[in-house]
Amino acid sequence: MSDPNASIEYARSQADRYLAELKELVAIPSISTLAEHKPDMQRAAEWVAGQLRGMGMEHVQVMPTGGHPVVYADWLHAAGQQTVLIYGHYDVQPADPLNEWVSPPFEPTVRGDNLYARGASDMKGQVHAFLKALEALLRDGKLPINVKVLVEGEEEIGSANLGPFVHGHRDLLKCDVVLNADAGILRPDQPSLVYGLRGLAYFELWVYGSDHDLHSGMFGGSVHNPAQVLCELIAGMHDANGHITLPGFYDKVRQLGDDERASLAQGAHSDEEWQRMAGVTKLYGEAGFTTTERLGARPTLEVNGLLSGFTGEGQKTVLPARAMAKISTRLVPYQDDKDVENQFKAYLAQHAPPTVRWDLRNLSSAPGVLVARDTPAAHAAGEALEATFGKAPLFRLEGGSVPVVSLVQAVLGVDSILMGFGLPDDNLHAPNEKLHLPNYYRGIEAYIRFFSDMAH
Amino acid sequence: MSDPNASIEYARSQADRYLAELKELVAIPSISTLAEHKPDMQRAAEWVAGQLRGMGMEHVQVMPTGGHPVVYADWLHAAGQQTVLIYGHYDVQPADPLNEWVSPPFEPTVRGDNLYARGASDMKGQVHAFLKALEALLRDGKLPINVKVLVEGEEEIGSANLGPFVHGHRDLLKCDVVLNADAGILRPDQPSLVYGLRGLAYFELWVYGSDHDLHSGMFGGSVHNPAQVLCELIAGMHDANGHITLPGFYDKVRQLGDDERASLAQGAHSDEEWQRMAGVTKLYGEAGFTTTERLGARPTLEVNGLLSGFTGEGQKTVLPARAMAKISTRLVPYQDDKDVENQFKAYLAQHAPPTVRWDLRNLSSAPGVLVARDTPAAHAAGEALEATFGKAPLFRLEGGSVPVVSLVQAVLGVDSILMGFGLPDDNLHAPNEKLHLPNYYRGIEAYIRFFSDMAH
């Protein structure tokens, strides 16, 4: 273990510069799902690479993939010490609906303790936090371990090209453990470590009726409306208890034991707190499980989008030719993400009426994951969090999906430390995304301590 | 009865000029539901007024309403003869989806026997046909009856301002019968007269969950997805037999007798023909009724549009804050169009879960209508059609809605002759709307004969 205090002192003295830099990064609209932002993706990757070069990391490269590029760098001069691969992503979600943002999504704005911008919390703030931790340690020659940095640009669209990249660069990425900064904590003052993430299988479902839109007066009553059929199909995907009805969907779902249920309940948000953060008047979920269990330990199926017919102002009496839904499932260990497409198709084959045609497109998939809690790296992370926050971390399951965690488990044979600082009310993927700045600064300190603690 | 032959000869000699003029009219994008087309609405009204002035109609006015203007004109010099009020509308439906048009919607293009353009069949072609019939008769002083012309600009959005207009101008509009040209026939060579139309009640249904979009991983499983709730509500609006489940919806529905069922079956399209025109692989509808009955004699509920969450390319893992459906009901006599909103609200109050809020907006409503079939005007129309097509017309119920028919029945106390020439495969309200040009020309002749036959 190396002494982190000088580096922490230095980091504290640089707070203003750090924030100014972070604003530069979040101002780049690196929306990975929209083709028109391709130049911004390159720009964000180069920005991260520039930071890595500036602090003295080596072999800094913006490496092409089948999609958006990956930024790689390393520093391997701590002979005999462990190698930590640090993971982040520089891409962000789309910003619409734009009119609901108080300040524009790519004009980062501080209000109170928060920095508002798309990507501030998910996850440019956290990428920048580990960059600044490395910078502070390297500055005085205090980095006591070997590090590799991997920052991808496709996390928000399922990391489809990261698999081939990791497979193709096993030697380059070889490491003892991964630090994955794409995670969150329960409350501003309550640190936590994530030991499980849900997987994701994302689909577009199309229902086709006529080969063209029809007049609803002239044809209404004689043909099956594809928007109605789509609604009927979606309605049937949950039963009255909130269980998902895709055949075989629960076959491999991990059951919770009493110990784990008790551990998850520790420090969990009350339903009242969660309801307030969700901004709803009443919670809802699968019968037989607590809110915390529903979020982290149970799979879900959500409609992410609906589109059919006329949606402009006023009225158009059209009987639409087709209807589309974006539908995604969040998967728990040990559900197989590849099975879900077949389960979905079996459901549709069983329930779609013969009056329409349908098409199911699987846009991405990744399995859920569990990581070991009792490892030296996990202990180092726990100590770093306790020293920074003055409280021991809780262990939690997170409802979101970070495809790279299962990928590095499978290909590199290493577990990940899921240590990040996002908050449940950061409006991830929604208007007015924010980063809680006190925890951004605590995050830098916690990462400095973690790297220091990893040295033997 | 006056001899129409000279006027018909003249009209035949003007075919090329008529088509050139009609192209001018359909090139004006007079989309009543879209605010940005307000100047086009005025332009279309002025174009119609210009035609009326040019042919010698009197008191030509573009009259303001609470919405788009009404064009009025008259010619009242046939002492002792009946007065016919001729109705049409100059507004059209929106043209989207634009990319499905073979030629642009407002660049009228002749291919084969058809003129392709938005509004060509619904109903600028038919408005222009009665204008040309009047022009031909007036040219030689052969118009043997009194006529008033009323062309509105809000039919496609429910004619909300026509009610106050007709109420406020009872004397101006006083007449013996209305000729309503907004109707269709069964086949190009089979004339028909419409004796009933369905009414329309059009709604927007909004379902609200959180006050902002949520991350589907972070919150999915713990809140009720408004898109899912909307789908469940819509799915429940029909039972397994295709009956509509709004409470009380069928209470006042007119029952069909055996005679009427037999009459409707006469000349009806076969299911194979109808399936081809609808462009579907299989028809669908309410159990216990034929396709023709489902279309004209039974009410329907259709989803006209769906919108929620993320609908762009790729994926966004959002749990939407809200979901919207455009839903309209087609009503038969003697359903009360004002009752439907309450029936709809009763359904929602009964079925919407307590985890969401909902809002139902009634965008427009108009009742269904039946007109008397055994009147001198109906006989005159029948004779005009038989002389023009060489075949006696069939009587039919039409599935579409023309709010003015019930309005003039209620306010002016007169029935309408529903004589128009649209075809079921004209792609009304859909891409590639077309007008069958041979019937446009036959329509001009049939109107000349009708006005002539109306003289005693």
**CA neighbor of A404 nearest in space, from A256, A253, A183:** A183
* Contacting residues of A for B218, CB less than 8 Å apart: 184, 295, 398-400, 424, 428
Q: Of the candidates B366, B383, B417, which is a domain's last residue?
A: B366
Question: Which residues of chain A from 53 to 82 reach within 8 Å of chain B, CB to CB?
Answer: none
A235 touches chain B (CB under 8 A): yes
Does a structural domain hold residue B290?
A: no
Query: Same domain for B102 and B52?
Result: yes
Any chain A CB within 8 A of the CB of B42? no
Query: Measured between CB atoms, does B401 come within 8 Å of chain A?
Result: yes
In a domain, B122, yes or no: yes
Q: Which strand (E) or helix (H) includes residue A389?
A: helix A376-389
Burial of A251 (0-12, 13-18, 19+ CB in 10 A): exposed
Encode pLDDT of A122-139 as tens digits. Answer: 999 999 999 999 999 999
Distance CA B84, CA B73 (A): 12
The answer to whether position A272 is within a domain reads no
Same domain, yes or no: B392 and B338: no
Residue A337: give its domain's CATH number: 3.30.70.360
* Residues A182, A64 share a domain: yes
Tokens 């097509």 locate to: B389
- For B281, name the nearest residue in chain A, comparing CA atoms only: A355
Q: Which is higher by pLDDT, B390 or B373?
A: B390
CB contact under 8 A, B304 and A284: no
Residue tagged 């009927």 (tokens): A232
Identify which has the larger pLDDT, B290 or A364.
B290
* Nearest CB to B33 within list A224, A279, A316: A316
Whether A449 contacts A383, CB under 8 Å:
yes
CA distance A19 to chain B (A): 25
| Mutual angle of helices B38-55 and B15-26, in 10-degree steps | 160
The residue in chain B having the minimum alpha-carbon distance to the alpha carbon of residue A276 is B210
B1, pLDDT greater than 70:
no
Q: Is B318 within the bounds of a domain? A: yes
Token pair 């490269």 in the structure block, residue: A61
Alpha carbon of B132: minimum distance to chain A alpha carbons (Å):
27
Which residue bears the tokens 């497409």? Answer: A341
Are both A386 and A443 inside the same structural domain? yes
The verdict on B340 and B389 lying in the same domain is no
Gap between the Cα atoms of B422 and B425, Å rounded: 9
- The pLDDT, as a whole number, for residue B284 is 96
CB distance B263 to B395 below 8 Å:
yes
DSSP letter, residue B345: H
A33, A34, A100, A306: which to substitute to probe chain B, counting the most B Cβ within 10 Å?
Answer: A306
Angle ∠(A319,A321,A326) on CA atoms, nearest 5 = 110
Question: Is B314 in Cβ contact with A323 (below 8 Å)?
Answer: no
Both B344 and B437 in one domain: the answer is no
| A&B contacts, CB < 8 Å | 360
Residues B154, B234: one domain? no
The reported pTM is 0.85
pLDDT band at residue B267 under the 50/70/90 scheme:
confident
Check B318 against A308: CB less than 8 A apart: no
Radius of gyration of chain B from its Cα atoms, rounded to whole angstroms: 23
Q: Comparing A399-403, B239-243, B321-325, which segment has the lowest mean pLDDT?
A: A399-403
Locate the chain B residue with the closest alpha carbon to A237. Answer: B228
Burial of B217 (0-12, 13-18, 19+ CB in 10 A): buried
**Residue A434, Cβ neighbours under 10 Å: how many?**
23
Query: Of B366, B385, B415, which residue sits at a domain end?
Result: B366
Average pLDDT for B212-231: 95
- Inside any domain, residue B272: no
Q: Which tens digit of pLDDT belongs to each residue from B77-118?
A: 999 999 999 999 999 999 988 999 999 999 999 999 999 999
Contacts of B316 in chain A (CB under 8 A): 33, 93-94, 156, 304-305, 326, 429
Quickly count: other Cβ atoms within 10 Å of residue B381's Cβ.
25
What are B376's strand-pairing partners? none
Residue with tokens 């029936």: B343
In a domain, A283, yes or no: no
Contact in structure between B432 and B410 (CB atoms under 8 Å): no
A215 touches chain B (CB under 8 A): yes
* Domain count of the fold of chain A: 2
pLDDT at A361: 98
Amino acid at A409: Q
Shared domain check, B420 and B376? yes
- Which residue range(s) make up the domain with A395? 5-197+368-453
Instruction: Note whether A357 and A413 are same-domain residues.
Output: no
Mean pLDDT of chain B: 95
Is there a contact between A113 and A120 (Cβ–Cβ < 8 Å)? no
Q: How far is CA B238 from CA A143, B142, B188, B246, in A?
A: 67, 55, 35, 9
**Which of A316, A326, A355 lies at the smallest CB-CB distance from B309?**
A326
Q: Which two tokens stand for residue B434?
A: 């077309």
Tell which of A215, A233, A274, A433 to mutate to test the B interface (max B CBs under 10 Å): A215
* Spatial distance between the Cα atoms of A36 and A38, rounded to a whole number of angstroms: 6
In a domain, residue A290? The reply is: no
Do A231 and B304 count as a contact with CB atoms less than 8 A apart?
A: no
Instruction: Find the closest chain A residue to B332 by CA distance.
Output: A217
Which residue ranges of chain A lie beneath pLDDT 70? 1
Contact B210 A278 (CB under 8 A): yes
**Cβ contact, residue pair B306, A323, below 8 Å:** yes
pLDDT of residue A1: 62
One domain for residues B147 and B16:
yes
DSSP element (H, E) containing A177: strand A177-180
Residues 124-153 (A) with a CB less than 8 A from some CB of B:
none
Q: Hey, what are A448's tokens?
A: 């400095």
> Is the Cβ of A211 closer than 8 Å to some Cβ of chain B?
yes
Question: Is B285 within 8 Å of A212 when comparing Cβ atoms?
Answer: no
CATH number of the domain bearing residue B127: 3.40.630.10
Q: What is the CA radius of gyration of chain A?
A: 23
What single letter denotes the amino acid at residue A247?
A: P
- CA B137 to chain A, closest CA, distance in angstroms equals 33
The Cα of B429 is separated from the nearest Cα of chain A by a number of Å equal to 5
* pLDDT bracket for residue B189 (50, 70, 90): very high
Distance separating alpha carbons of residues B435 and B424, to the nearest angstrom: 11
Contact flag A311-B307 (C-beta cutoff 8 Å) = yes
pLDDT mean over B168-183 = 96
Cis peptide before A333 (omega within 30 of 0): no
Answer yes or no: is B216 within a domain. Answer: yes
The tokens of B219 are what? 């919150």
* Among candidate residues B321, B340, B366, the one where a domain is terminated: B366
Instruction: Quickly count: other Cβ atoms within 10 Å of residue B160's Cβ.
Output: 16
How close does chain B come to A40, measured CA to CA in Å?
A: 17
Contacts of B398 in chain A (CB under 8 A): 217-218
Contact B235 A238 (CB under 8 A): no
CA A367 → CA A158, A161, A408, distances in Å? 11, 15, 12
The B residues from 301 to 330 touching A (CB cutoff 8 Å) are: 302-321, 323-326, 328, 330
Q: What percent of chain B has pLDDT over 90?
A: 90
**One domain, residues B143 and B237:** no
Q: Chain A 424-453, CB below 8 Å of chain B: which residues?
A: 424, 427-432
Which chain A residues in 346-375 lie under 8 Å from chain B, judged by CB atoms? 353-355, 357, 363-364
DSSP per residue, A230-291: HHHHHHTTB-TTS-B-STTTTTTPPPPPHHHHHHHHTTPPPHHHHHHHHT-SS----TTS-H
Are B326 and A305 inside 8 Å of each other by CB? no
Give contacts of B237 with chain A, Cβ < 8 Å.
228
- 3-state SS of B238-286? ECCCCCECCCCCCCCCCCCCHHHHHHHHCCCCCHHHHHHHHCCCCCCCC
Do B438 and B312 fall within a single domain? no
Chain A residue at shortest CA distance from B314? A33
